[in-house]
Amino acid sequence: MEPQDASGSVLFDPSRRADVNLVEGDGQIRLVFRLRLRQPGVTPRVEWRQAGWTTLSMEDVGLLGEWAVFQAVIHVQDPARPVVYRFCLSGPEGERFFGPAGLAPEPEAAGSFQLHPGTQASFPVVAWTRGRVFYQVFPDRFANGDPSNDPPGTTPWGGAVRPDTGSQYFGGDLAGLIDRLDYLQDLGVGGLYLNPIFSAGSSHGYDTVDYLRIDPRLGDLDTFRTLLDEAHRREMRVILDAVFNHTGTGFWAFQDVAERGAASRYKDWYHFHGFPVNVEVPNYEAWWNVPSLPKLRVSNPDVRAYLMGVARYWTRLGIDGWRLDVPNEIREPGFWEEFRLVVKGINPEAYIVGEIWHVEPEWLEGTCFDAVMNYPLGRDALVPFFRGKGGFGARELDRAVQRAVLAYPEQAVTMNFNVVGSHDTARVLTALGGGNLGVEPDPGAVRRLKALMSFLFALPGVPVIYYGDERGMLGEKGEDWDAQRAPMPWDEGAVRAGAEIFDHLRKLVRLRRQHPALVGPVVTRLALDDAQGLYACARGGGGEEVVAVTTREARRVHVVLAGLTGRFRDLVRDESLHAGGQGLNVELDGPETRLIVKES
């Protein structure tokens, strides 16, 4: 449990970066304080000093669960000197002070916190992620550019997906991805996230056989170098999927133990419970007890050194970052901290994304990852809101947006990997009621998808498009059934709504690059109406302001945004609007999201 006052009304953890965050950039150092209160009518302020004491009011910035979050920002003048601080709470009971000793009537009794700016890990935003949109590629299912490397028994492109899809190959490869880079450039994406490409025993690649070799069914090292060069020439960054928690049973160390048993020098690379090795009834620990995925013993110094060597090899080769598979299952102290130091020591601008499915801020302290796969925002909030099921209304959407912004330090908020679907989930269009693989998408679901993606692109973080979503692909995720991994339908008109969705996403990608207000970490709620399924918020930054207004209702919806004045332009519709005396009058043809920039 996080430190809090004994009364349960104040929550603050000086070791938590979301509560005390040193932000460096633009030639200045800011210190961002966040205090959580569960006391109606109480107004907090922060009192701090590097020389003399200074008092600063704290702004109410939203709700995080049942806690009201207050924030204050100070500018650190001398990073070599400690910052001493405490909080003062003014309310019906008068003034009380909060410090390391908890709440007290006098500041001396509460005590003061102290931060030495140089002791907090540097956590700069990876600059090139600003305004970028990523595209996830499942290599075997994206495009076949070299049939000569197709495995025996390859299913013809567009053939039926089998239940045992992990052992089914369609022939997609790196050459096919290279051939389609111009297509992706036309879409406007600035980053590629590749599912595993190392030698493996399956089409999904999460059962690694050799971490230092490109899977022959996908190409070779020269092909990969060409991919990097061609992607970089088009200003696209490339991050790779790394599976360090477990290997495949074909991995050379596991094979040596399978052959030599207790005499193998690699017997301590895994968690064996006896010998000889039995893969039919596993006598070793495995990921989710899947026999083909034996779990590595990363506490073994040799294993750890080997995996760090893998990180060095590919980072030095020129990749732009890593997406880390199930990193929360590696709890060895210092492992991910060392990984970050290794990678950032080679390329300080490398982007590190962890596959974390829940809100877990401890991974984003500036010591492990830059971002997490933000399923709680995309899959768990935006999808149910726009689908209109499960009682997830505008109020719940507001809570989810505030959580995405307030649970993490602002650097992570701007870099979080915002997915609405992936190789591990149903396709977003299917989740929105579009139907399953093999049918034409429901037109209403297509409209919901466009509204959802418009709103996603208006939020902080890095938007991610799963391959084929831009062409209206459908696919359900079931038990031992992965229709969401079907091969890309390249034939023009394969999906009637494909061109409409592609054009919409291409416009959103362009807007994301052009408007700095869409990149910053702050979201300000403007309106919320459960009856109309409506939510509106303001985004600001770079000297501009953009208003996002969305509704999931399949009807015309109207809202007046009070307090807005001046001239505006709708970035999606390319229409002009003018705020009257009561505010900005916005009509939506739902489901729809309007992105409106203030012009004067």
Segment 211-252, tens digit of pLDDT: 999 999 999 999 999 999 999 999 999 999 999 999 999 999
Summarised one tens digit per residue, pLDDT across range 428-450 is 999 999 999 999 999 999 999 99
CA distances in angstroms from 401 to 65, 412, 418, listed in the order given: 11, 14, 12
In contact, 382 and 338? CB cutoff 8 Å: no
- Give the β-pairing of 462-466 and 102-104: unpaired
How far the first Cα of the chain sits from its last, in Å, is: 48
Q: Residue 314's closest CA among 212, 236, 217?
A: 212
**pLDDT band of 1, cuts 50, 70, 90:** very low
Q: Residue 285 CA to chain centroid, in angstroms?
A: 29
pLDDT of residue 300: 98
Residue with tokens 């209304």: 393
Which has the closest alpha carbon to 238: 294, 202, 193?
193
- Burial of 172 from C-beta contacts in 10 A (0-12 / 13-18 / 19+): buried
Helix 443-457 with 498-514: angle, nearest 10 deg: 10
Taking only the tens place, the pLDDT of each residue in 155-186 is 999 999 999 889 999 999 999 999 999 999 99
CA distance 191 to 478: 29
Question: Are the C-beta atoms of residues 238 and 263 closer than 8 Å to each other?
Answer: no
Choosing from 215, 320, 325, 398, the catalytic residue is 325
Please, are residues 58 and 50 in contact by the beta-carbon 8 Å criterion?
A: no
Is residue 325 part of the annotated active site? The answer reads yes
User: How far is it, in rounded angstroms, from Cα 28 to Cα 140?
Assistant: 46
> Is 186 noted as a catalytic residue in this protein?
no
Tell which residue, 568, 560, 567, has the closest CA to residue 588: 560
pLDDT band at 6 (very low <50, low <70, confident <90, very high): low
Could you tell me the domains of the chain? Answer: 10-119 (2.60.40.10), 251-297 (3.90.400.10), 298-374 (no CATH), 517-598 (2.60.40.1180)
Question: Residue 4 has what pLDDT?
Answer: 56
